[in-house]
Structure 1
Amino acid sequence: MSMRTSPGSAASRVFLVVAGSVALLVTVLSVVLVLDAQRSERSEAEEVTRAVATSLAALPEVAGAVGGPDASQRLQPVAADVMEVTALDFVTIMTPDGVRVTHRSPSEIGRQYLGTIPEAPAVLTEEFTGTLGPSVRTIAPVQDDGRLVGWVSVGVTLGSISSQLLPRLPFVVSIALALLGAGVVGALLARRTTRRVAGDLPAGSIRDAVASYESVRTLGEALRAQTHEHGNRMHTAVSLLELGRTAEAIEILTETSRQSQALVDQVAARRDGDPTVGALLLGKAAQARERGIQWSAEIDPAAPRSSLPPMDAVSAIGNMIDNAMDAAASGETPRWVRVVFARMPGSPALRVEVSDSGAGIADDIRDRIWEHGFSTKPAGTEGRGVGLALVRSIVTDAGGTVDVRQDPTTFVVTLPARHP
């Protein structure tokens, strides 16, 4: 039986995000290609009009005929031939004061030229609206022995420039369709891969599943360390009892009880404590001793309980402590980790601080430590790149904040207090 993807599933979201991003990229690229083609056509029109205008103005027969009584009869055929060969929209030859001698519409001959005539003999390219509409035109001086005897204006209408884009549109459309097709295929593959991992679970459920896994992992590691520590002490005490060294056996058992009871008393003193987080701290204290890290916990009895569910609380706090212990273990002695639970001054919110003696966080990666998949640890089970990203996700979803300070490295989390 085939599995259908529900509209709210993570796989569907991945498909929509990838397909939407590709569609947006293709649209932007198509617009850029069209604008670039338009710019290219306009630039080409400017170059052509300038070349033709200066070439005509330099012809001796144009300079010799423009001021004569039969200038129109002699030059109109020349202008018509040039327009036919070059596909220009108009070639206008005029007197020095701008009276037309030639024009595409013979009825316009003898009328004043519509456009800018330079005050001094010079070549000028501009966009101007004349009798044929908006056009890109170039006007060049006609000189005879250094004396201005007329002007030549050559132009292409903007409509003609736009029509030159039509042959390029199939190319643009084909590129857009090819990219869009590749994007849709990529989106389908991304959805298929996501479905293999997450099935039809919605995105929120996936994060909850990851949080639950991280909670079980960090709590399991803490309890394993605590069990291992107690097991070692019990074996030592039994061996001492077998050797008749009862006082030393009692001292070991008493020290074990005293260390655990101190933290239990701190946790129990809170008027609204979380027993799950208390168990986590007990286990992490044992894990720190196992790794040779000095552990200290400061738990304010007035610290409120956060609004996080127990599994999310264990995942967020446990991952911060794990990160701190990894940093402390890789740093120089003395190696230590400090955890603080307190009430925010002037607020019912809970503040959790986790500090360590590690080398700190480099400035160039300070913003990247929250990215999912980024880790300074080696790849493998110790280099997941999930912990801090998950911490930030859990905290921000609960309406809290998370930040990091240096000297020493301290992760500070503020969480809304749970309503009674």
Structure 2
Amino acid sequence: MFPVGRDASHDCVHYFQGGDVARGRVSLARQVLILQLAVLTVVIAAGAILAVFDARRDSDDATRQEVLGIAVSLAQAKSTAEALHSPDPTAILQPQTERIRIATGMDFIVVMAPDRTRFTHTNVDQIGKPFSGNIDRALRGETFTETYTGSLGPSIRSVTPIYDNGAIIGLVSAGVTRAKISEQVKHGIPVILGITAAGLALATIGSVLLSRRLRRQTLGMAPAELRTMYEHHDAVLHSIREGLLVFPSRSPDVAEVVNDEARRLLDLPEGAVRRTDLPESMQVLTPVVVRDEMHVTPNRVLVVNRDPVEWEGRTIGTVLTIRDHTELEGVIGELDSVRGFAESLRSQAHESANRLHTVITMVELGRYDEAVQFATAELELSQHLIDRLMGSVQEPALAALLLGKVGQASERGVELTISDDTALDSPAPLTTHEAVTLIGNLADNAIDAALSSPDAWVEVTVQEVDSQLVVKVADSGPGMSADDLARARSRGYSTKDNHRGLGLALVSQLVARYRGTITAERKPAAEVVVTIPRTAS
């Protein structure tokens, strides 16, 4: 679950600090760091090796182009052909080829006769001796490059023919030994190694920083601990009988966590849940802590708690917990009705006792006619109201409710009357319980409002008009504007210890369920009118 209002890292870390789990564990961040460093080391080392081989290959390719160019240039020079026709070609060609060799960095430049006899060589002892290597392709007029082990060791060499009037009169071979090529490659290895070391250092720094960030995000927990925590978290979310929603501060319009009970209680759709999907009264997500706030939806009465989610001293989200209060609110409503009846009976018993004592005293004083007149007058008044209600309202529970409200209002100093045109055969489409809730809450609100006036009165009318159930409750209070009524209906919440404020919300819930209307008037008197079609399903 999400820690609320305290240090989350302390809770989560200590949640897994017991037994064998904490001993010898390696956090996810450390495992990722080790794996990342191993992979980076292998990749960078492989890259360095490939770079060395690539440098060797590039050097070989460059050497082939270079020896080929030098051999062809020397073979095509007119002075080379002229020297071969001289009595002593070595005397002319050896100094020239040595100058060229030194200038170009070649290891050898050999000018030879078609029979392989060398006219020039780096090692003068090899002059006059046969050339070792392949020349057959050159004798056929082809210029080629090969790797061959000669008198100076393995080398890359090119061989090309020397033409004079279309005839091959000699051959030129230029080459560089493998040892020299390797030496050149070695000079580039420090640069490659430096780049490799720098890359590895940067990768290590990046991995460490990533590991620290991951450690903060995972609270230093190992994969097994994260899996266990997720399994517990998921099991709790699906099993608790309390709705839970979590809205992150970074994206407060979309819930990050929604459990099954929250979807059921709020009739939420599958998939992502947006704040606009919640009832209007629950869409405000301020960081203020709220305890046992009552909300009324079209189908339920809910108790909502709201807490900020804190992490390292800053608020990172909001948690809403929701409990279903519908059945309990129904029981409380019935209990309030029974309590009202009991209070009414107590009041009537008290008044009856007073009247009885008065009658007895009058009889004892011999005032028999006055005693009879006093007793029958009170009885006739009460009996008249009872007979009228029982004759016009066929539902006994509603008649009893209205009689009880008359007595309850009288005890609070409010004159409550039932209009003469009140008549009702059946509360349909409402059930008896729903009708009691509707009329009782409207009457209670009217009595509360009437108390603010010096001459407090309330008038209740219940009748059927044009196939519609109409309930009118007028009072001497200030009344409500259309905006006040809309706010009272949409606000729909109260505190746990005080259920006042739910009345109009519960009435609105019933009206919406049966597709009725509720209006409020201020003139000529404060009045709330509820109309429910009889044909509503």
C-alpha contact 1:141 1:148 (8 A) present in aligned 2: yes
Counterpart of 1:140 (choices 160, 164, 176) is 160
Partner of residue 33, structure 2 = 15
Match of 1:83 in 2: 101
Matching of residue 180 in structure 1 with residue 218 in structure 2? no
- Identify the residue that residue 211 of structure 2 maps to in structure 1: 191
Structure 2 residue aligned with 1:155: 175
- Shift in Å at residue 143 of structure 1? 0.9
CA distance in 1 between partners of 2:190 and 2:153 (Å)? 28
CA offset digits 1:38-60 (Å, max 9, x no partner)? 12211111111011101111122
Amino acid at match of 2:202: A
2:121 partner SS: coil
**Following the alignment from structure 1 to structure 2, what is the Cα–Cα distance between the partners of residues 74 and 211?**
92
What's the counterpart of residue 91 of structure 2?
A: 73
**Counterpart check, 1:107 vs 2:125:** yes
| Equivalence map 1:302-313=2 (5 Å) | none
Gapped runs of 5+ residues in structure 2? Answer: 1-12, 14-22, 241-258, 268-298, 302-325, 335-394, 399-425, 433-537
The C-alpha deviation readout for 1:74-132, integer Å capped at 9, x for no partner, is 22212211111111011011001222111112222222222221141121111111111
Query: Once the two structures are superposed, what CA deviation does each residue of 1:166-199 show, in whole Å capped at 9, x if it has no partner?
Result: 3322221221111111111111112211221233
Deviation at residue 148 of structure 1 after TM alignment:
0.6
Task: Give the C-alpha shift of residue 10 in structure 1.
Answer: 1.4
| Larger radius of gyration between Structure 1 and Structure 2 | 2
Can you list the C-alpha shifts for 1:193-246, whole angstroms capped at 9, x where unaligned?
122123342221112212222332344422345567895784898799977989
What corresponds to 1:42 in structure 2? 60
- Secondary structure of residue in 1 paired with 2:157: strand
SS of equivalent to 2:34: helix
Matched, 1:95 2:113: yes
What code does the residue aligned with 2:261 have? L
* Matched residue SS, 1:165: helix
The residue that corresponds to 1:379 in the other structure is none
Q: 1:218, 1:61 → 2: CA distance?
A: 97
d(CA) in 1 for partners of 2:48, 2:26:
31
Answering whether residue 260 of structure 2 is matched by residue 222 of structure 1, we say: yes
2:54 aligned partner, one-letter code: D
Which residue does 1:205 correspond to in 2?
A: 225
The verdict on how the C-alpha distance between 1:21 and 1:174 changes in structure 2, with shifts beyond 3 A counting, is same
Aligned counterpart for 1:29 among listed residues 47, 51, 76: 47
* Gap change, CA 1:235 and 1:245, over 3 Å in 2: farther
- For the Cα contact (< 8 Å) 1:93–1:151, is it kept in 2? yes
State the Cα distance separating 1:68 from its structure 2 match: 4.0
| Residue type of the alignment partner of 1:11 | A
User: Counterpart in 2 of 1:60?
Assistant: 78
2:141 maps to which residue? 121
- Structure 2 distance, partners of 1:132, 1:212, is 76
Is the alpha carbon distance of 1:171 and 1:152 closer, same or farther for their aligned partners in structure 2, counting shifts above 3 Å? Answer: same
Residues in 2 aligned to 1:237 and 1:249: alpha-carbon distance in whole angstroms: 13
Q: Secondary structure at the match of 2:116?
A: coil
Counterpart-to-counterpart distance in 2, 1:54 and 1:228: 90
Q: Using the alignment, how far apart are the partners of 2:266 and 2:194 within structure 1? A: 66
CA separation in 2, counterparts of 1:32 and 1:86?
29
Task: Give the paired residue count.
Answer: 250
Residue aligned with 2:203, SS: helix
Task: In structure 2, give the amino acid aligned to 1:157.
Answer: T
- Conserved 8 A contact 1:126-1:136: yes
Q: Report the counterpart of residue 276 of structure 1 in structure 2.
A: none
Q: Let me know the Cα RMSD of the aligned residues.
A: 3.5
Question: TM-score under structure 2 normalisation?
Answer: 0.42
* Aligned-partner residue type, residue 105 of structure 2: A
Letter in 2 for 1:93: V
Trace 1:266-305 onto structure 2 (pairs within 5 A).
none
Residue-by-residue CA offset, 1:249-281 (whole Å, 9 max, x unaligned): 79xxxxxxxxxxxxxxxxxxxxxxxxxxxxxxx
Identity of aligned residues (%): 26
Deviation at 1:7, TM superposition (A): 6.4
CA distance in 2 between partners of 1:106 and 1:140 (Å): 22
